[in-house]
Amino acid sequence: MAAKYEIIIYWSEEDNAYLAEVPELPGCMADGASYQQALQNAEVVIREWIETAQELGRHIPEARGKLMYA
């Protein structure tokens, strides 16, 4: 993955899966049965999000690194 976007991963009881959100890319989200699978799926979705934005001529936000604090 060329860009280093923050990925937030958490367990969702409602979805019975791990969810992976990418806050800097609106609507960019993935899921998985395991933490690792959610992370892998998020990496794929990030690439697809960027490819789609490029095809549509839309702005691609620069990765800013850590955005949230625990």
pLDDT digits (tens, 9 = 90+) for 26-42: 999 999 999 999 999 99
- Between the CA of residue 48 and those of 52, 66, 70, what are the distances in Å? 6, 22, 28
pLDDT at residue 1 in the model? 47
Question: Please, which pLDDT band fits residue 65 given cuts at 50, 70 and 90?
Answer: confident
**Do 9 and 19 contact (CB within 8 A), yes or no?**
yes
- What's this model's pTM, rounded to 2 decimal places? 0.85
CA distance 22 to 5: 7
Which amino acid, 33? A
Sequence-ordered alpha helix ranges (H) in the chain: 35-56
pLDDT at residue 2 in the model? 53
Domain boundaries along the sequence of the chain: 8-56
pLDDT at residue 69 in the model? 58
pLDDT digits (tens, 9 = 90+) for 9-28: 999 999 999 999 999 999 99
**Do 34 and 54 contact (CB within 8 A), yes or no?**
no
